């Protein structure tokens, strides 16, 4: 019974595949893997916009949307209808083809990365040998789409927003990949399925997730911070920066194309959250042995929703960075910490099991953290403000 | 000659020509990116998964973005003036076409034209990693050194010389 | 020594308290679901001016005597008055002009209340009505005498304290005038009285 | 035409296009793009020879391609830095207008 519920989607796919002639099997199999992804994640996007607005409202002691439907649950439908019926405006000076292509490329790229995310036991669209590499390689194309949007609009604000976005994404891609590399190094595989399998065991009630180890915890935090920056969310939402450059690279987009940008932004957020779950939070494994009756896909989505809630919480709390702070934080803090974390993970892998391994790994991370924190933040040199004209 | 190869080859070649012949510089860069992604797909089609993804990561994520930044920093996104067909252009095209002729002639004459398709070799990431760490460890270190030197060198070159003025 | 990142944790704790607190205690919520619930208006709330009338007839009972002081004092010059040719009796029993037209352009009005301050006849007061939207773009901006007139009962209802002061002032004025009429039966000049602070 | 020949012809075509671009276009960035195209044509050859040649388990073609990619990335970084530095001095990226050393 429990297994049947766990494998319900896999079994359903097999049932649907049975009557198909063997010539068409690969095509139908691919379609049956892709179509649910195309339906589930936009649905999750709609749910997340609602949760985000409600949650932000409550964080700021407001009610949040509560008009459309009971408790406002139909708000995403209303938003969607409103966006779809808006006029599609293309500026006169724009390069029309690239202007059209940018959101399309962005959405396609955002969907492609889901191919390697294991959503449950036996539930991954393609188990690539180089899955993690695929994830990051395809993800980089998003930067180009952002540039296309910013440049094709012929608007100085969108160009500025695009430049900011690209600079930010490049700077934070390095700690993002470096913190993922620690996991790849310890498991010895780039395949997402193998990485999840490596976190299957339990000691007592405690799962062997990588986040439970010192280097894994540090890697997880670094990964989350970089992922926030990669998906341009607050406090790293400078590319959009409503108060300074209006809406960044998508000022000149309206109607359906704007909705595509919005969708792609959230899809990117879900994708990096899913990657964080796969790499550090044990993928679809239950958090304790006595919780293993929960279907694996339910575990994954609960973890995903928890991470999304964390992102919303962070957005409701933290103010936006300044551009120079953003860059310095990446190059002077995140990248050194990611490199140190890499060494720590390597030592963890080399040393035998025992308390000294924990001690070494912990000290190797904590010492640079405290030193960097003291030297960069405490003496106020890190965020020292320089004025060009005054003083 | 499979259909996917023909489609990818046409796309790649057309994008490469676009990259060299379009007038707005940004369009050239975008065409270059399309061409390089086509090459990455060709690598995947040839069974070199790691090479294909590495191509995407390096060329689209790094080199493409770098060129875009250079275009914007040198204000290259303005439309260049249209030029007439000058002598240098004819000379360059002539050289290129003759090089192409020689290459195609050499390929058609070569002894590598065995019509049988060898079985697809496997190149897992693990094998590549092993090879990089054992047989090719010296070149790997050298490339690392080269990249570090290039990083520092390009920062030094592109840095503003503010103190001198 | 404070730990790096401690401030972030502190902030996260504060917002979490807001989040859960807003479900527990309704006092934390600073906003209300508007059309169903409203925050009661403050004692001295003001939006746009209106003309006060006594009795039941909104045109015959207008207190305004078309003295045009408000028109002159209005900083953005949004009031326009045309005096009538004939005269009629005011509440003190004196013969007065009345406004033939009295228009206010509320797209220009800045709700400064100077018109109400300077009016010697308690004829123009500030309304609290804020739901003024109309389905068309230019509608409801240029208000005429008929739209501006509100009964004095309404005024007593929205600003009870100020209305009581104003009623007292008017009662004193009219009794003074009647006493003067009874004593000397001489015509009374129209010298405006200095206004008390409301 | 055999499969290998198809890849070789495509690679020589891309190489030629890059060469033609380098020879005819006068913008420094475009010249760099042409060089990138030529390097990529060579990479395609490496992979094709690895796939269809003898001894594929030695992975020589892929290794060559990876190292060529590293070198190309370094070249692009330094080349673009030079272009930006020259642009600061001469306010142009046109190769014909950079003639400070001409008499």
Q: Domain limits of chain D?
A: 3-93
CA A79 to CA A207: how far, in whole Å?
41
pLDDT at residue number C191? 46
So what CATH class is B1-79? mainly alpha
Report the pLDDT value the prediction gives residue C160, as an integer from 0 to 100.
Answer: 86
Could you tell me the pTM of the whole model? 0.82
- Give the range with max mean pLDDT: B87-91, B103-107, C105-109: C105-109
Q: Which chains touch C (3 or more CB pairs under 8 A)?
A: A
Q: Does B148 touch chain A (CB under 8 A)?
A: no
**CB atoms inside a 10 Å sphere around CB A295:** 21
pLDDT at C83 > cutoff 80: yes
Residue of A nearest to B33 (CA): A144
Whether C119 maps to a domain, the answer reads yes
Tokens at C139, concatenated? 């509608």
Residue B85, pLDDT score: 55
Token pair 């020949």: residue: D5
- Which residues have CB under 8 Å from A8's CB, separation 6+? A295
- Give dist(CA A329, CA A338) in Å, integer: 12
Question: Are C102 and C152 within one domain?
Answer: yes
- Judged by CB atoms closer than 8 Å, whether chains meet at D2 and B113 is answered as yes
Task: Give me the helix-helix angle, B3-21 and D28-52, nearest 10°.
Answer: 160
Angstrom distance (rounded) from CA A201 to CA A208: 5
Q: According to the model, what pLDDT value does residue A37 have?
A: 85
Task: Based on DSSP, count helices (H) and strands (E) in chain B, helices before strands.
Answer: 7, 0
Give the mean model confidence (pLDDT) for residues C168-179: 85
CB neighbours of residue A145 within 10 Å = 24
Measured in whole angstroms, how far is the alpha carbon of residue A146 from the centre of its chain? 17
Ramachandran sector of residue C45 (left: φ over 0; alpha: ψ -120 to 50; beta: rest): beta
Q: Tell me if A143 and B65 make a contact (CB, 8 A cut-off).
A: yes
CATH number for the domain including C65?
A: 3.30.70.3270
Buried/exposed code over B83-121 (b: 16+ C-beta within 10 A; e: otherwise): eeeeeebeebbeebeeebeebbeebeeeeeeeeeeeeeb
Q: In sequence order, what are the residues at sequence separation of 6 or more whose Cβ sits closer than 8 angstroms to the Cβ of residue B154?
A: D77, D78, D80, D81
Give CATH for domain D3-93.
Answer: 1.10.287.3510
Those residues of chain A that have pLDDT short of 70 are 1-2, 241, 376-391
Interface of D with B in 59-88 (CB under 8 A): 59, 61-63, 65-67, 69-78, 80-85, 87-88
CB D47 within 8 A of CB D62: yes
The answer to whether B126 contacts chain A (CB < 8 Å) is yes
Q: Are the CB atoms for A112 and A138 separated by under 8 Å?
A: yes
Q: How many CB atoms lie within 10 A of CB B22?
A: 16
Count CB atoms within 10 A of the CB of residue A63. 18
Angstrom distance (rounded) from CA C34 to CA C158: 20
**Residues of the domain holding C25:** 1-31
Asked whether the beta carbons of A105 and A141 are under 8 A apart, the reply is: yes
Instruction: Read off the pLDDT of each residue in C138-149 and give the average, rounded to a whole number.
Output: 85
Tell me the DSSP string of C141-166. Answer: SEE-HHHHEEEHHHHHHHSHHHHHHH
Contact B147, B63 (CB under 8 A): no
Q: How far apart are CA A346 and CA A323, in angstroms?
A: 33
Q: A240 or D102, which is more confident?
A: A240
The confidence score (pLDDT) of residue C197 equals: 46
- CA quadruple C69, C75, C76, C77: dihedral, nearest 10: 20
What pLDDT does residue A309 have? 92
Q: Does B97 touch chain D (CB under 8 A)?
A: yes
The rounded distance, in Å, linking the Cα atoms of A54 and A64 is: 5
Nearest to C31 among A62, A316, A373 (CB): A62
Closest CA to A215 of A353, A347, A336: A347
Give the mean pLDDT of D73-92.
Answer: 84
pLDDT for C21 beyond 90: no
Query: Do both C119 and C153 map to the same domain?
Result: yes
Q: Are residues C103 and C5 both part of a single domain?
A: no
Long-range (24+ apart) CB contacts under 8 A made by A183-189 are A183/A210, A183/A216, A183/A219, A183/A279, A183/A280, A184/A132, A185/A342, A185/A345, A185/A346, A185/A349, A186/A210, A186/A345, A186/A348, A186/A349, A188/B126, A189/B125, A189/B126
From the list C121, C71, C49, the residue with the least C-alpha distance to C92 is C121
Look at A173 and B72 and tell me if their CB atoms are within 8 Å.
no
Q: Is A24 helix (H, G, I), strand (E, B) or coil?
A: coil
The stretch C158-185 carries a mean pLDDT of: 82
Q: What pLDDT does A220 receive?
A: 92
Sheet (strand C79-83) strand order: C79-83, C99-105, C142-143
Phi, psi of C124 (to 5 degrees): -125, 130
Using a 10 angstrom Cβ sphere, with 0-12 exposed, 13-18 middle and 19 or more buried, the burial of residue C9 is: exposed
pLDDT for residue C184: 60
Q: From the CB of residue B50, how many other CB atoms can be counted at a distance below 10 Å?
A: 24
Kindly state the greatest CA–CA separation across chain D: 57
Write the residue in B9, B146, B153 that is nearest to D71 by C-beta: B146
Separation between Cα atoms, residue A331 and residue A326, nearest integer Å: 9
* Interacting residues of A157 by C-beta distance below 8 A, sequence separation 6+: A245, A246, A247, A248, A251
Chains D and A touch (3+ CB pairs under 8 A): no
Asked if the model's pLDDT at residue B126 lies above 90, the reply is no
Residues on chain A touching C4 (C-beta within 8 angstroms): 369-370, 372-374, 377
Count of domains observed in chain C: 2
Q: Please give the pLDDT value at position C188.
A: 46
- Assess whether C75 and C142 both reside in one domain: yes
Q: C17 and C94 in one domain? A: no
Q: Is B61 on the interface with A (CB under 8 A)?
A: yes
User: Residues of A with CB below 8 A from C6's CB?
Assistant: none
Strand-pair category, C88-89 with C149-151 = unpaired
Q: What is the ipTM of this complex?
A: 0.76
The pLDDT, as a whole number, for residue B106 is 85
Cis peptide before A235 (omega within 30 of 0): yes
**Which residue in chain C has the smallest CA separation from A315?**
C12
The encoded tokens of residue B17 equal 């020509």
Residue C190 has pLDDT above 70, yes or no: no
What does the pLDDT average to over B25-34? Answer: 88
User: Tokens representing C125?
Assistant: 């007061």
Torsion of CA A315, A321, A325, A327, to 10 degrees: 70
Q: How many whole angstroms separate alpha carbon C30 and alpha carbon C20?
A: 15
Sequence-separated (6 or more) residues with CB below 8 Å from residue C3: A370, A373
Taking 60 as the threshold, does the pLDDT of residue B87 lie above it?
Answer: yes
Among A377-381, B2-6, C100-104, D57-61, the range with the most confident prediction by mean pLDDT is C100-104
Length of chain B: 165
- Closest partner CB to D77 (pick from B5, B36, B66): B66
Could you say which of A136, A151, A170 has the minimum Cβ distance to residue B26? A151
Distance set, CA C38 to CA A84, C17, C30, C31 (Å): 33, 26, 12, 9
How far apart are alpha carbons A309 and A47 in whole angstroms?
Answer: 12
Q: Among A340, A339, A357, which residue's Cα sits nearest to residue A348?
A: A357
Confidence (pLDDT) at B14: 92
How much is the mean pLDDT over chain C?
82
More confident residue, C165 or A324: C165
C145 pLDDT more than 70: yes
Q: What stretch of H or E contains C79?
A: strand C79-83
Q: What's the confidence (pLDDT) of residue A326?
A: 84
User: Contact D44/B151, CB-based, under 8 Å?
Assistant: no
Q: What is the distance between the alpha carbons of residues C127 and C114, in angstroms, rounded to a whole number?
A: 13
Contact C167, C121 (CB under 8 A): no
Of B132 and A385, the structure prediction assigns the larger pLDDT to: B132
For chain B, the domains span: 1-79, 124-165
Kindly report the three-state secondary structure assignment for every residue of A211-251: HHCHHHHHHHHHHHHHHHHHCCCCCCCCCCCHHHHCCHHHC
| C-alpha to C-alpha distance for C144 and B96, rounded to whole angstroms | 83
Q: Which two tokens stand for residue C170?
A: 């008017």
Q: Looking at the structure, tell me whether residues C82 and C169 fall in a common domain.
A: yes
Query: Nearest chain C Cα to A333, which residue?
Result: C4
Closest residue in B to A132 (Cα–Cα): B53
């Amino acid at each position: 019974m429990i297994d049947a519920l766990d494998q319900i989607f896999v079994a359903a796919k097999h049932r649907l595949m049975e009557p198909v002639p063997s010539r068409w099997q690969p095509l139908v199999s691919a379609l049956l893997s892709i179509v649910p992804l195309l339906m589930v994640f936009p649905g999750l996007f709609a749910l997340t916009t609602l949760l985000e607005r409600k949650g932000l409202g409550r964080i700021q002691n407001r009610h949040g949307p509560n008009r459309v439907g009971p408790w406002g649950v139909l708000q995403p439908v209303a938003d969607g209808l409103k966006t779809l019926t808006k006029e599609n405006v293309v500026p006169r000076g724009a390069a029309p083809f690239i202007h059209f292509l940018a959101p399309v490329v962005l959405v396609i790229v955002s969907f492609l990365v889901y191919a390697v995310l294991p959503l449950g036991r036996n539930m991954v669209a393609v188990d690539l040998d180089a899955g993690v590499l695929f994830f990051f390689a395809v993800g980089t194309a998003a930067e180009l789409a952002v540039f296309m949007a910013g440049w094709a609009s012929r608007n100085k604000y969108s160009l500025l927003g695009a430049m900011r976005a690209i600079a930010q994404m490049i700077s934070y891609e390095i700690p993002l990949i470096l913190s993922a590399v620690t996991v790849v190094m310890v498991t010895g595989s780039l395949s997402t399925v193998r990485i999840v399998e490596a976190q299957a065991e339990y000691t007592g009630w405690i799962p062997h997730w990588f986040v439970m180890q010192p280097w894994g915890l540090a890697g997880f935090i670094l990964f989350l911070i970089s992922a926030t920056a990669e998906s341009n969310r607050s406090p790293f939402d400078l590319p959009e920066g409503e108060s300074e450059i209006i809406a960044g690279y998508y000022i000149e987009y309206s109607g359906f194309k704007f909705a595509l940008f919005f969708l792609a932004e959230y899809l990117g957020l879900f994708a990096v959250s899913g990657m964080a779950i796969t790499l550090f939070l044990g993928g679809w494994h239950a958090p304790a042995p006595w919780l293993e009756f929960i279907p694996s896909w339910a575990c994954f989505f609960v973890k995903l929703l928890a991470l999304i809630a964390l992102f919303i919480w962070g957005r409701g709390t933290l103010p936006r960075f300044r551009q120079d702070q953003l860059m310095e934080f990446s190059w002077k803090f995140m990248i050194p910490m990611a490199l140190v974390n890499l060494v720590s993970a390597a030592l963890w892998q080399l040393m035998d099991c025992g308390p000294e391994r924990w001690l070494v790994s912990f000290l190797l991370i904590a010492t640079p953290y405290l030193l960097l924190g003291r030297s960069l933040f405490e003496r106020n040199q890190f965020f020292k403000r320089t004025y060009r004209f005054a003083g | 000659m499979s259909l996917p190869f023909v489609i990818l080859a046409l796309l790649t070649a057309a994008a490469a020509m676009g990259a060299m012949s379009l007038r707005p510089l940004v369009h050239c860069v975008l065409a270059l990116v399309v061409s390089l992604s086509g090459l990455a797909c060709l690598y995947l089609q040839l069974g070199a998964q790691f090479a294909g993804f590495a191509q995407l990561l390096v060329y689209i994520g790094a080199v493409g973005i770098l060129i875009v930044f250079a275009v914007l920093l040198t204000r290259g996104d303005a439309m260049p003036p249209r030029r007439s067909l000058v002598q240098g252009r004819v000379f360059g095209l002539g050289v290129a076409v003759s090089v192409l002729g020689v290459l195609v002639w050499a390929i058609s004459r070569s002894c590598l034209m065995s019509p049988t398709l060898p079985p697809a070799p496997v190149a897992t990431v693990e094998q590549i990693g092993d090879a990089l760490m054992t047989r090719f460890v010296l070149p790997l270190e050298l490339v690392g050194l080269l990249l570090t030197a290039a990083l520092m060198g390009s920062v030094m070159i592109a840095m503003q010389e503010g103190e001198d003025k | 020594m404070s730990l790096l990142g401690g401030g972030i944790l502190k902030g996260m704790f504060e917002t979490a308290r807001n989040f859960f607190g807003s479900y527990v205690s309704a006092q934390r919520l600073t906003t209300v679901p508007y059309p169903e619930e409203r925050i009661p208006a403050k004692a001295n709330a003001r939006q746009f001016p209106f003309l006060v009338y006594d009795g039941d007839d909104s045109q015959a009972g207008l207190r305004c005597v078309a003295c045009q002081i408000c028109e002159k004092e209005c900083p953005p010059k949004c009031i326009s008055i045309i005096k009538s040719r004939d005269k009629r009796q005011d509440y003190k029993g004196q013969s007065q002009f009345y406004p033939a037209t009295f228009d206010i352009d509320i797209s220009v009005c800045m709700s400064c209340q100077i018109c109400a301050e300077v009016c010697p006849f308690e004829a123009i007061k500030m309304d609290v009505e804020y739901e003024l939207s109309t389905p068309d773009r230019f509608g409801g901006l240029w208000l005429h005498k008929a739209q501006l007139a509100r009964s004095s009962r309404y005024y007593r209802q929205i600003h009870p304290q100020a209305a009581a002061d104003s009623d007292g002032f008017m009662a004193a004025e009219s009794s003074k005038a009647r006493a003067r009429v009874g004593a000397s039966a001489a015509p009374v000049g129209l010298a405006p009285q200095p206004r008390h602070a409301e | 035409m055999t499969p290998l020949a198809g890849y070789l012809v495509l690679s020589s075509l891309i190489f030629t296009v890059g060469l033609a671009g380098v020879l005819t276009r006068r913008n420094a960035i475009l010249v760099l793009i042409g060089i990138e195209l030529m390097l990529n044509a060579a990479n395609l050859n490496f992979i094709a020879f690895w796939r269809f040649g003898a001894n594929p388990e030695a992975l020589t073609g892929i290794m060559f391609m990876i190292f060529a990619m590293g070198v190309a990335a370094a070249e692009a970084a330094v080349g673009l830095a030079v272009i930006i530095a020259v642009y600061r001095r001469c306010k142009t990226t046109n190769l014909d207008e950079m003639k400070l050393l001409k008499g």
